[in-house]
Amino acid sequence: MTHRLTHLKALEAESIHIFREVAAEFARPVMLYSIGKDSSVMLRLAQKAFHPGRIPFPLLHVDTSFKFREMLEFRDQYTAQIGATLIVHRNESALSDGANPFKLGTQKCCGLLKTRSLLDALTEGGFDAAFGGARREEEKSRAKERVYSFRDTAGQWNPKNQRPELWNLFNGRIDKGESIRVFPLSNWTELDVWHYIHLENIPVVPLYFAKPREMIVRGDTLISTEHEPRLLPGETPQLVMSRMRSLGCTYCTGAVRSDADSVPKIIAELVGMRRSERENRVIDHDQEGSMEMKKREGYF
């Protein structure tokens, strides 16, 4: 028997260590559950970390109300199936004021329904540590993100005030009101995530798999019609064989043309495609360095 871990087993080992460390050292951890593929992998890793016990923290979904119906169905069915505790939070006051991406623009909408809502939910729950599925590979400002990302009492991130992380010795000391965002998938790539989903047979939202979907075709971007976005002159929704590379709100998550209807086909597409997965996230392209600015405000 060879005593060497494959790269996926090495990543799994690192992530499980992080889950256990946080569960042991923090009073009220929570897992931010976005329903996407990274969340699915996080959930499986958490199950493994505490097996045969239950996952010792709740899941928190920040629902903007503009999520895909299939995401919510998957969320409710899957979390019930594995016996996880689910908290759903919406920024009800902003929603009753009619917040939506068409009226506010994507930046303000995201600020209110996602960032604000997330910070409120964390405060209300008294959570001192929140797991997120962000990966360093995803975007430039995340390449320097810590596994334990320190947030001040306003939930904000200061790139100059992050703690050095050596070995796997994480410093979880915080004062009252401060918190830590924890990224157990820091060192995973998109390919690692899909490969792990494949090997472990992890359920994911069907939106990842290609099928004919009603879309607005706007330049290279495909926008779902699910929440009836405003059409530009001359646009008509059409059925496009497509799938989502990442999941967010219907308006801000562009689909890609694809016929990949299985995990191996998705991986084949990924290996051949050479397009960064966040490219179709409208939000990252608002302005140069925009993800870094969102993080400073408290977004992931």
- Contacts to another protein by CB under 8 A: 1, 3-13, 16-17, 20-21, 23-25, 47-54, 136-137, 140-141, 143-144, 159-160, 162-171, 173-175, 186-187, 189, 191-192, 195, 198-199, 264-265, 267-268, 271-276, 279, 288-289, 292
Nearest distance in Å: CB 137, another protein: 5
What are the two backbone dihedrals, phi and then psi, of residue 206, each rounded to the nearest 5 degrees? -60, -20
3-state secondary structure of 255: strand
Nearest distance in Å: CB 294, another protein: 13
Nearer to another protein, 24 or 239 (CB): 24
Beta strand pairing call for 211-218 and 238-244:
antiparallel
Nearest distance in Å: CB 136, another protein: 5
Nearest distance in Å: CB 210, another protein: 15
The distance in angstroms from the start CA to the end CA of the chain is 41
Token pair in block for residue 33: 């559950």
Beta bridge partners of 218: 221
Contact 253, 281 (CB under 8 A): yes
Nearest distance in Å: CB 24, another protein: 5
Residue entry with tokens 């064989």: 241
If phi over 0 gives left and psi between -120 and 50 gives alpha, with beta otherwise, what is residue 51? beta
Nearer to another protein, 108 or 144 (CB): 144
Contact 77, 86 (CB under 8 A): no
Beta strand pairing call for 254-257 and 238-244:
antiparallel
In this structure, the number of other CB atoms found within 10 A of the CB of residue 5 comes to 12
- Distance CA(51)–CA(238), nearest Å, equals 46
Closest CA to 126 of 49, 19, 26: 26
Nearest distance in Å: CB 14, another protein: 8
Nearer to another protein, 3 or 233 (CB): 3
Nearer to another protein, 76 or 292 (CB): 292
Nearer to another protein, 72 or 267 (CB): 267
Give helix 263-273 / helix 190-200 axis angle, nearest 10°. 160
Nearer to another protein, 48 or 69 (CB): 48
Nearer to another protein, 175 or 232 (CB): 175
Nearest distance in Å: CB 178, another protein: 8
